Structures are given as structure tokens and as C-alpha cells.
Chains A and B, each alone.
Chain A
């Protein structure tokens, strides 16, 4: 029994370095979605393939395997005096790139949790586009909102 305890302890100790072999998961917001100058009454679209204005997250983590991507998306951007500017995300306004290339994405609906296969090099990117819909009498000024991406490594 004593010998068995030693073996179990040894396995547990070995288990720690085995777990540590998996690269820690990190998600980094690289670039925000930038609508720039928006005219009242004129919708402004930012495509997820727009290299200057689309949003970008970089993900680093364990090599290969499935990952779950889910967003917390705003319904509007907040502006001066509490004014709100509606923001809409289309069914293909998010894109997953296992090569971290904006020119090589697979589109998906950011409103739905989506499972992707993480690449073997342990790095990938997610790009985001959206549409701002200002009213004809939209109050002038700067508007902002926060987009959150949560990534879960699936077992």
C-alpha cells in the first residue's frame, strides 16, 4: 500500500508538467472597429476584411484542437449626453483566420457561439466588422462601445 501511494504521488507530480505542456491561452485585442466620420442618416459599414478599420483579436494557445468563440456585442455606441448610435452585426461579420491573415478568413455569425479548430502553430486571429446606423438627427460627437471576445479551449 505504501508503494502504491508513492506511485500515485509520482503520477500526480508527473501530471503537473504534463498539463503545463499545453500553451496557456491568451486573447489580445489588437485593433478596434473604426467607423471614422459618420454622417447623420447615412449607414457606415466596416467589413471584417477591411485591414484598417475592422476589429482584430489575436489568440495564442494550445496547439490544435477545438475552441469555442463567443462575443459580447453592443447594441449601440454611446455618445455625447448619453446619445446612442445603433450598431449592427451581420451573420458573417466575424471571421476566423488560422493563419492570422485578414485575407484568409472563414466568416461566421458573431451573435452565435462558434467552434473553430485551432491551428497546430498555436496562433490565430479573429476579425470583426459591423454597421453603424446613425439617425438623420443623430447628435454630433464621438461614440464608443466595447466588443468582448471570449475563447474557451474545448477538451
Chain B
């Protein structure tokens, strides 16, 4: 009987060992992939230039003015929509003096010649697409309103355009 008990223990040990051996591990892998497109590049290509301004005489530069309108050149992923937003100054400054700048206008086009351009309000922003070559040109115009007693000098302000996908 004692032999049978020993035998039972031995059998139990074998079975338990067998159970423990049943624990299995395996693994596999997969790949995560992404194709990052061309980053956006923005260049302030041309200043918005009002030239000579006389006290009491408003002066306007249209966005369609290829010579004096401000221009930004954008490059990025071809045929991809982007969002344009602007920080627009309310005044130009010169040695502590200011001069109002108002009525901003904008045009965006796929070509630097502005052919096929689309007018927009810089204050509201725009959502054009980059061209098939990944290009976009943006022009900005505005009006300055010098007071009748506007101090003489060179007035400047910064227009900032932000472009995101």
C-alpha cells in the first residue's frame, strides 16, 4: 500500500510537471510605416511698399500690384491644401510716431504671374492648395491713412503669414 502511495506521488509529479510544461510563449512582429511629405517653406519674397505718402492723403497698394504688393512664396507637398493665417499690424511706426494701415487685401495663385489668382481677405485667412509643383504665391495689399499732421519719416510694420497643412 505504501508502494502504491509512492507511485501515486510519482504519477502526480509527472502530471504536474507536464502541466507546467504546457505554458507556451511565442511572438511575432509587424511594421509601422509612414511616408512624410515635403515640409512647408515660406519666404517673404517682396515687401509691401507704399512709396512716398503725403500727409492727409490716403494711399492704397492693391494685392494685384505685382510691383508694390507684398508677396510670400510658399513651397511644400504638391497638390496639398494649406491654411493661411496672418498677423496684420494696425499701424506703421517711425521713431515713436504711428500711421494707420487698414483694408488689407490678398490674392493667392499657383503662378508668380498671378494668372488664375484668387482674391481673399487676409484678416479672414484662406485655404488654397499648393500647385502640382508644390508652389503657392500670396500677395498682400493695404491702405495707409496718414494724418494731415503726420510726422515725416520712414514708417514700417511687420506682416506675418503662417502656413500649415
Residues of chain A touching chain B, judged by Cβ–Cβ distance below 8 Å, are: 1, 4, 7-8, 11-12, 15, 18-19, 22, 24-42, 44, 55-57, 61-62, 74, 77, 79, 85, 87, 128, 130, 132, 134, 136-155
Whether the Cβ atoms of B35 and A25 lie closer than 8 Å is no
A12 CA to B10 CA, complexed, in Å: 10
| Distance in angstroms between the alpha carbons of A146 and B38 in the assembled complex | 24
- Other A-B pairs beyond A4-B7, A38-B34, A136-B40, 17, CB < 8 Å: A11-B11, A19-B22, A22-B22, A22-B24, A25-B26, A26-B26, A28-B28, A29-B30, A34-B32, A36-B35, A37-B37, A40-B39, A85-B34, A134-B36, A140-B37, A152-B25, A153-B23
B→A interface (CB under 8 Å) = 3, 6-7, 10-11, 14-15, 18-40, 77, 80, 164-165
B33's contact among A29, A32, A140, by CB below 8 Å, is which?
A32
**What are 9 A-B contacts with C-beta separation under 8 Å?**
A4-B3, A15-B14, A33-B32, A40-B37, A41-B165, A57-B30, A143-B35, A148-B29, A155-B19
Q: Does B25 contact A151, Cβ atoms closer than 8 Å? A: yes
A141 to B77, CA, bound (A): 12
Label chain B's interface by main secondary structure: mixed
Give the chain B neighbours of A137 by CB distance below 8 A: 39
* Residues of A with C-beta under 8 A to B31: 32-33, 144-147
- Cβ distance B77 to chain A, nearest Cβ, rounded Å: 7
How far, in Å, is A144 (CB) from chain B's closest CB? 5
Partner among A4, A39, A77 whose Cβ is within 8 Å of the Cβ of B77? A39
Residues in A whose Cβ lies below 8 Å from that of B77 = 39
CB-nearest residue of chain A relative to B30?
Answer: A29
A22 to B6 Cα, complex, angstroms: 28
Task: Tell whether, in the assembled complex, residue A141 and residue B35 are in contact, meaning their CB atoms are under 8 Å apart.
Answer: yes
Closest to A10 in B: B11
Asked if A42 and B26 make an inter-chain contact with CB atoms under 8 angstroms apart, the answer reads: no
A77 adjacent to B26 (CB under 8 Å): no
List the 5 closest pairs (A to B, CB-CB), nearest first: A35-B34, A39-B165, A29-B30, A150-B27, A32-B31
The DSSP consensus for interface residues of chain A is: strand
CB distance from B24 to the nearest CB of A (A): 4
Q: Which of B22, B23, B24, B36 has a CB less than 8 Å from the CB of A143?
A: B36
Are A140 and B36 closer than 8 Å at their CB atoms? yes
Partner of A77, one of B28, B33, B38: B33
